[in-house]
Chains A and B, each alone.
Chain A
Amino acid sequence: MSDVLRLSPLDEKHRDLGGRMVSFTGWEMPVMYSSIIDEHKAVREHVGVFDISHMGQLFLKGNDAESWLNRMLANDVAKLEDGEAQYTFILNDQGGVIDDLIIYRLAENDYLLLVNAAKIKEDVDWLTQHLEGDLRLENLSDDWAGIAVQGPDASEVYFKMTEGRTLPARNHLDDLSHMGHRMIVCRTGYTGEDGFELFCPASQASFWWSLIMDEGVAPCGLGARDSLRLEMCYPLNGSDLSPSRSPLEAGLGMFVALGKERFIGGDALRNQKEQGVSERLMAIQLCERGAPPRPGYPVHDMEGKLLGELTSGGLSPSLGAGIGLAYLPTDRVKVNTPVQIGIRGKYLPAKVVKKPFYRK
């Protein structure tokens, strides 16, 4: 991969808005504009907009796409109607996570896969290796932009910016043309709020961004995106998910269809399900105000014995408390178990809590 950071089609917009640009999985993206806490609260209370152009768009077409996808992905693609979305995984043979993604059924034998920026190449290589028949996988990640509008006021923003359109139902999409510009709008997100994700050719990104900004929507960076998803316990691949951890260990078994026909990683997961997982991704909340927990910080039991380490962590702006996720042994830790988080050699009291951290 080249060392040169890729720029979003909205790069100039971010700079004009004073965005603090950082390197993220090969892209230069805004981590925030003025305050992560303010941006986080804007999304929880009103509405915010995120540039998600770094994410990957893979289009799959061809006969028998459904049954092929059902062998490649962990969830049951056959459950999708036209225009419906589903959270799912690409697994390796051991049941570990290569990527987590959202698949959209555009029409029969016509699918869109929305994948993580850092995994585009790996996903494409893996899927291409397994392609068969007349299936065609097209990686349009370079040509497409993405914008997420999230928050309780998101549907009103959509109504105004499109002069009267209403959003598709939750987890559904519309593939449409508005004022001559194609866009795919999905009622999905990564924040726990209502909202939509809009995908369009890169050349149209500024047009849509400006329409959204005209409605007074707060621009939000990757910092708020991370704190919002962490409050909901939505996993981040590369941090909370990895090729050596399965969706069952991550507590995401509801997105795995163990009862369907054979799929890659399925045998390993059925085995794991039978035996039970020895470690599970658990939610941990600090009991007192203090330094925010961060990825890599150790989690100890009350006797000081190491249990695991945080895969994600930070301050929850909604709760005003430090929160984090860690793989912890299921035989020793459950909800309400007191633990300690090591921060620069000090132990801070914490406990395991029920997911998610934040509820409306």
Chain B
Amino acid sequence: MTAPDNCRYTPDHEWVRLDGDIVTIGITDHAQDELSDVVFVELPDLGDVDKASPVGVVESVKAASDIYAPLAGEVVEVNLDLVADPSMVNSDPYDGGWIFKMKIDDTSQYEALMDASSYTGIVR
């Protein structure tokens, strides 16, 4: 299982990467491995969301799993490539398999998320 150092992590097995005031969000390698065979991603709607609110769904053959907003902010972009090829969530979870981007006002809430070593600790 990989968990890159340039991301922060949530207990719901999402990764969050900060670039300026934009965060990119996807599910972790551990999460995609547990789900396996991702066949559909219900992408979030654009607009304001509260922290921890369910915004989308990742569906594998086995099960449906909610995606939550890891932080409060505005959903500004979703990964439309996943419509044609949802399996990128499995094959490239931290890059091509990103799910959505949010604009956040307060980057300190990002810093409060788990770092890679803390996250690796909870899934081991």
Contacts and interface: CB of A to CB of B under 8 A. Distances in A.
A289 B61 CA distance: 13
A35 B59 contact: no
On chain A, which size bracket covers the interface? 10 to 19
A31 B35 CA distance: 11
Nearest to B39: A315
Query: Interface residues of B: mostly helix, strand, loop or mixed?
Result: strand
A292 interface: yes
Interface residues of B, number: 11
Contacts of B37: 35-37
Contacts, number: 35
A289 B82 CA distance: 12
A315 B59 CA distance: 10
B36 interface: yes
Interface in A279-314: 289-292, 294, 314
A19 to B, nearest CB: 12
A292 B36 contact: no
A290 B82 CA distance: 12
Nearest to A346: B42
A291 B36 contact: no
Nearest to B60: A36
B61 A223 contact: yes
B59 A291 contact: yes
B3 interface: no
A36 B40 contact: no
B39 A292 contact: yes
B57 interface: yes
A317 interface: yes
A344 B36 contact: no
Interface string A15-42: 0000010000000000110111100000
A315 B37 CA distance: 11
Contacts of A290: 40
Nearest to B34: A20
Contacts of B59: 291-292
A344 B57 contact: yes
Contacts of B34: 20
25 contacts: A20-B34, A20-B36, A31-B62, A32-B62, A35-B36, A35-B37, A36-B36, A36-B37, A36-B61, A36-B62, A37-B37, A223-B61, A223-B62, A289-B40, A291-B40, A291-B42, A291-B57, A291-B59, A291-B64, A292-B59, A292-B61, A294-B64, A315-B39, A315-B61, A317-B61
Q: Which 7 A-B residue pairings sit nearest by Cβ, starting from the closest?
A: A36-B61, A291-B40, A37-B37, A291-B59, A315-B39, A36-B37, A35-B37
Interface of B: 34, 36-37, 39-40, 42, 57, 59, 61-62, 64
